[in-house]
């Protein structure tokens, strides 16, 4: 599943990022690395997610390339 598929209030774990190396580095610099927990605060464009205590806004293009799994 991708970040775009996550509903408001849901918590997920980043499983990977499917983009070019430069774009992956940019997202990693923002904190989107494998294993990090993310909470969807608001869906839409931009969506707002909480990541390491920080709110981050992402457009749909980025939401579609961040793969996530549900938290156990």
Two tokens at 26? 């940019």
| Residues 2 and 58 sit within 8 Å (Cβ to Cβ) | no
pLDDT at 67: 97
The set of residues, in sequence order, having a beta carbon less than 8 Å from that of 23 and lying 6+ positions away, is 17, 65
pLDDT at 20: 87
Task: Give mean pLDDT in consecutive 10-residue pieces for the chain, a chain of 72 residues.
Answer: 97 94 91 96 97 95 96 78
For the chain, where are the E strands, in sequence order? 11-17, 37-42, 47-51, 54-58, 66-70
Cα(22)–Cα(58) distance, integer angstroms:
17
Q: Domains in the chain, please, with CATH?
A: 3-70 (2.30.30.90)
Residues in the chain: 72
pLDDT at 54: 95
């Amino acid at each position: 599943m991708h970040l775009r598929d996550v509903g408001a209030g849901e918590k997920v774990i980043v499983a990977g990022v499917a983009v070019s190396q430069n774009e992956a580095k940019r997202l990693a610099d923002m904190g989107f690395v494998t294993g990090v927990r993310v909470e969807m605060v608001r869906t839409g464009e931009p969506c707002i997610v909480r990541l390491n205590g920080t709110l981050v806004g992402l457009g749909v293009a980025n939401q579609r390339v961040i793969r996530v799994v549900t938290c156990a």
